[in-house]
C-alpha cells in the first residue's frame, strides 16, 4: 500500500509503503529507535517481541526506478524501514498497540496517523472489537484525533512497577 | 499452589488451588462469566483467546478426601473452576492482564488479590518488565492496593471504538 511518493536521501524517486506482512530487520528497527531517542533494547528481545506480536505494521521507504509510472509497483531498488507499530492480542477479543514510531526524516507528513489508522483497521477487520493503547501525555491528542478515547466509561490504564531489588 | 482450605458446596473438604498450567474448561468459564454477570461470549472465541494468552492463571476448587493431611496434595475427587485471570504479551517487554474474575461463592476471601498478585509475579519472573491492565472505575482501588498505579507519568489508557455500522 503506497502512502506517499517522495525522494530518498540521495534524491532518487521513492515511495513510502505500508504493510502488515513485510519482514522487519531488527537492527534497522534498533537504528530507528535510536533516531527517535528511545532507549536501546537487546536485539534478541526485540526479535521475540516482533515474533509474538499479533500484527506488525511497517512503513518502508522504497527507492524505485525513475521511469516507473505512478500506477505500477516495481520491485524497489532499495528498501529501508522508516516506521513501525505493533499490536499484541489474544487473537479474539482485544488488541493493544505498542511501539509506534516514525523516522524523524519522515515526520510531519501524516505517516504516523496513517500507520496507526491502518493498523487499527487491520485489527478491526480481523474481528478484534477492543483496540487499546497506552499513550504518553504528549501524544494523547494525536490519538484523540484518530478517534481513540481516554478512559472511556471511567476505565483506567494501570501499571505495576516492581519494587527495586535490594542490592544486599 | 494451595491458597485456602475450605469446604465445597456439599460440605466436603476442599482446597482452592492456583495454577498457571491447569487446563481451562471453556464451558465452565462461560458459567463463571454468567455467574459474575458478564455478557456471554462465543465459546470458540473464548477458546482462541485462552490459547493465545501468554499466561492463563486459574483458581480451581479441589474436593479432597476427608482423611488427607494438610501437607500432602492428593488427586482431587472433583475439580471446578472458581476463578481466572489471563495476560496477553509480546513474550519480551509487556504483558496486559484481562478477564479477572472470581466466582461469587468465593469472593471476599482475598482470592482475587491472590490471583492477580501471583499472575503478576509469574510475569515478572519471566522478565516481563511492563505489566499493565485496564481497570473499571469500580476496581481501581482494588488494583491500587496491589501496587498498580493509575496513569503513571501521565500515560493514559485509550480505546478505539469503531463507529456503528450503517444498517443501510
Who among B45, B156, B157 is closest to A92 (CB)? B45
Q: What's the pLDDT band for B67 if we cut at 50, 70, 90?
A: confident
- In this structure, the strands spanning B130-135 and B94-102 are parallel
Tell me what the mean pLDDT of segment B61-75 comes to.
Answer: 77
Cell numbers given for A146: 484518530
Query: For residue B9, what pLDDT band results from cuts at 50, 70 and 90?
Result: confident
To the nearest whole number, what is the mean pLDDT of chain B?
A: 93
B161 at the A interface (CB within 8 A)? yes
- Whether the pLDDT of residue A87 is over 80: the answer is yes
| pLDDT tens column, B26-55 | 999 999 999 999 999 999 999 999 999 999
Tell me the pLDDT of chain A averaged across its residues: 93
pLDDT above 90 (res B162): no
> What pLDDT was estimated at residue B161?
84
A97: left (phi over 0), alpha (psi -120 to 50) or beta: beta
> Is the pTM here over 0.80, yes or no?
yes
Strand order from edge to edge, sheet including B94-102: B2-7, B13-19, B55-63, B78-89, B94-102, B130-135, A156-160, B148-150
Confidence at residue B70, expressed as pLDDT on a 0 to 100 scale: 60
Q: Classify residue B163 by burial, with Cβ atoms within 10 Å: 0-12, 13-18, 19+.
A: exposed
The yes-or-no answer on residue B160 being catalytic is no
Catalytic residues of A: 143
The pLDDT assigned to A66 comes to 83
Nearest Cα residue in chain B from A143: B158
Amino acid at each position: 500500500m503506497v502512502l506517499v511518493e517522495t525522494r530518498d536521501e540521495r534524491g532518487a524517486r521513492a515511495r513510502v509503503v505500508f504493510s502488515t506482512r513485510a519482514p522487519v530487520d531488527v537492527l534497522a528497527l534498533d537504528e530507528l529507535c535510536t533516531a527517535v531517542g528511545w532507549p536501546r533494547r537487546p536485539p534478541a528481545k526485540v526479535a521475540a517481541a516482533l515474533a509474538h506480536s499479533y500484527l506488525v505494521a511497517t512503513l518502508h521507504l522504497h527507492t524505485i526506478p525513475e521511469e516507473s509510472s505512478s500506477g505500477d509497483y516495481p520491485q524497489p531498488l532499495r528498501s529501508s524501514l522508516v516506521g513501525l507499530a505493533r499490536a499484541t492480542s489474544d487473537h479474539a477479543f482485544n488488541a493493544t498497540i505498542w511501539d509506534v514510531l516514525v523516522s524523524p526524516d519522515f515526520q510531519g507528513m501524516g505517516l504516523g496517523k496513517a500507520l496507526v489508522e491502518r493498523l487499527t483497521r487491520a485489527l478491526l477487520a480481523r474481528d478484534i472489537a477492543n483496540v487499546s493503547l497506552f499513550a504518553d501525555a504528549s501524544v494523547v491528542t494525536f490519538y484523540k484525533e484518530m478517534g481513540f478515547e481516554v478512559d472511556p466509561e471511567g476505565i483506567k490504564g494501570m501499571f505495576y512497577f516492581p519494587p527495586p531489588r535490594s542490592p544486599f
